[in-house]
Structure 1
Amino acid sequence: MKIGYARVSTEEQKMDLQMEALKRSGCEQIFVDRGVSGSLFDRQGLDAALEYLNTGDMLVVWRLDRLGRSLSKLIELVEQLGKMGVEFHSLCESIDTSSSGGRLIFHVMAALAEFERSLISERTRAGMQAARERGQHLGRPPSLTAEQVDEAIIAVEMNGEYITDVARRFDVSRRSLRRLMRMRLERQAG
Structure 2
Amino acid sequence: MSIVGYARVSSNSQNLDLQLEQLAASGCEKVFSEKITGTSRNDRQALADCLDWVREGDTLIVTRLDRLARSGRDLHDIIAQLSAKKVGFRCVQQGAVDTTTSMGKLILGILAAVAEFETDIRKERQREGIERAKAAGVYKGRKRTVDVDRVRSLRQQGIGATDIATHLGIARASVYRALRDELVMLA
TM range (shorter): 0.5 to 0.7
Q: Tell me the residue number matched to 2:64.
A: 63
Q: Tell me the residue number matched to 1:163.
A: 156
1:71 CA drift (Å) = 4.7
Whole-angstrom CA distance in 1 between matches of 2:141 and 2:13: 42
Q: Tell me the residue number matched to 1:7.
A: 7
Q: Tell me the residue number matched to 1:25.
A: 26
1:130 CA drift (Å) = 5.5
Task: Indicate the SS of the match to 1:33.
Answer: strand
Residue 44 of structure 1 aligns with an amino acid whose one-letter code is Q
Tell me, which stretches of 5 or more residues in structure 1 are unaligned? Answer: 186-190
Q: What fraction of aligned residue pairs are identical, expressed as a percent?
A: 30
Residue 32 of structure 2 aligns with an amino acid whose one-letter code is V
Task: Indicate the SS of the match to 2:116.
Answer: helix
* Bigger-Rg structure (1/2): 1
Q: TM-score, normalised by structure 1?
A: 0.61
Please tell me whether the aligned partners of residues 75 and 112 of structure 2 are also in contact (alpha carbons under 8 angstroms).
no
Cα 1:24–1:128 change in 2 (3 A) is closer
1:120 CA drift (Å) = 3.9
Is residue 99 from structure 1 mapped to residue 101 from structure 2 by the alignment? yes
How many positions carry a matched residue from both structures?
168
Whole-angstrom CA distance in 1 between matches of 2:50 and 2:74: 17
Task: Indicate the SS of the match to 2:157.
Answer: helix
Superposition pairs of residues 14-163 of structure 1, within 5 angstroms: 15=17, 17-27=18-28, 29-34=29-34, 36-39=35-38, 41=41, 42-94=43-95, 95-123=97-125, 125-126=127-128, 138=141, 141=144, 163=156
Whole-angstrom CA distance in 1 between matches of 2:155 and 2:19: 65
Whole-angstrom CA distance in 2 between matches of 1:48 and 1:181: 48
Q: TM-score, normalised by structure 2?
A: 0.62
1:121 CA drift (Å) = 4.3
Please tell me whether the aligned partners of residues 68 and 74 of structure 1 are also in contact (alpha carbons under 8 angstroms).
yes
Task: Indicate the SS of the match to 2:112.
Answer: helix
Task: Indicate the SS of the match to 1:96.
Answer: coil
Please tell me whether the aligned partners of residues 72 and 113 of structure 2 are also in contact (alpha carbons under 8 angstroms).
no
Tell me, which stretches of 5 or more residues in structure 2 are unaligned? Answer: none
Whole-angstrom CA distance in 2 between matches of 1:174 and 1:49: 41
The CA RMSD measured in Å over matched residues stands at 4.2
Cα 1:165–1:75 change in 2 (3 A) is same
Deviates more, 1:119-128 or 1:130-139: 130-139
